[in-house]
Amino acid sequence: MNQEHSFSNAPLKASSIIGTGVIDPKDQSLGDIKEIVIDPASGRVAYAVVSFGGFLSMGEKLFAIPFSSFKYHADVNKYTLDVPKEQLKAAPGFDANKWPSMADEKWNRDVHAYYQRAPFWM
């Protein structure tokens, strides 16, 4: 069975996603993507790790955000995250030198619940 597929948003290399800007629906900058986290069991992109705040990466806070939370805009090469800055500031984040255990099921469920997304493994 052939399914039609649009390549207007063709697959991207992880290296081309890292560094891409993240904006809110009002086109305000939220930060940029620092890392892509892949679930090795399914091969799915689980999270985009987004930086927010800080100056020259000092005091920077990172957020693992379910990749399904983003909408990609190929025309401007940016991702929209429909989360206000205030909500993002209160989101579960971590320091660049102290990442959470992404194998922790409770942590994964809490992150997905915060962004109101179904877990990537379901």
CA distances from 70 to 10, 53, 58, 78, 98 (A): 15, 19, 25, 10, 24
Q: Strand, helix or coil at 54? A: coil
Question: What is the predicted pLDDT for the residue at 3?
Answer: 42
Of 31, 24, 69, the C-alpha closest to 50 is: 31
Question: What is the predicted pLDDT for the residue at 91?
Answer: 87
Question: What is the predicted pLDDT for the residue at 54?
Answer: 57
Fold of 14-114: SH3 type barrels. (2.30.30)
Residues in the chain predicted with pLDDT less than 50, given as ranges, are 1-7, 55-56
Residue listed under structure tokens 């493994």: 121
Where exactly are the structural domains of the chain?
14-114
Question: What is the predicted pLDDT for the residue at 9?
Answer: 57
Q: How far apart are CA 106 and CA 112, in angstroms?
A: 10
Question: What is the predicted pLDDT for the residue at 7?
Answer: 44
Of 89, 39, 107, the C-alpha closest to 67 is: 39
Question: What is the predicted pLDDT for the residue at 6?
Answer: 43
- Return the number of other C-beta atoms located less than 10 Å from residue 91's C-beta: 17
- Return the number of other C-beta atoms located less than 10 Å from residue 89's C-beta: 12
